[in-house]
Structure 1
């Protein structure tokens, strides 16, 4: 594999890892509650289905 492909693959993994950590931190801090709460209300009202 070419060096540029290795660098690209490394950067993609690095970037995805940073994104995952940021989403987890935001979730733990309650920053995503504005998304979760309406979804829970819809689910409790029977407006969702299993995937």
Structure 2
């Protein structure tokens, strides 16, 4: 049995309130890991090409205000 299956079974056993707390915790945890990954990729220059492409599109009038 994998640890993912163990986690799935444990989540199934949670009460409604516990699932809500778990959901909130996991959303925060997942967002923090995503932010860390973006920061690492940006620092490593992995997003430079995408940024340059977006700026070029904007300069050519292919963007709009939100």
Question: Shorter-chain-normalised TM-score: which range?
Answer: 0.7 to 0.9
1-side partners of 2:35 and 2:57: how far apart? 26
- Give the TM-score normalised by the residue count of structure 1: 0.74
* Pairs aligned (count): 51
- Partner residue, 1:24: 39
> Counterparts of 1:7-22 in structure 2 under 5 Å?
7-22=22-37
Which protein has greater RCO, CA pairs closer than 8 Å, 6+ apart? 1
Question: Is 1:5 aligned to 2:33, yes or no?
Answer: no
- Give the TM-score normalised by the residue count of structure 2: 0.61
- Which stretches in structure 2 are left out of the alignment for 5+ residues? 1-15
- Partner residue, 1:34: 49
Bigger Rg, which one: 2
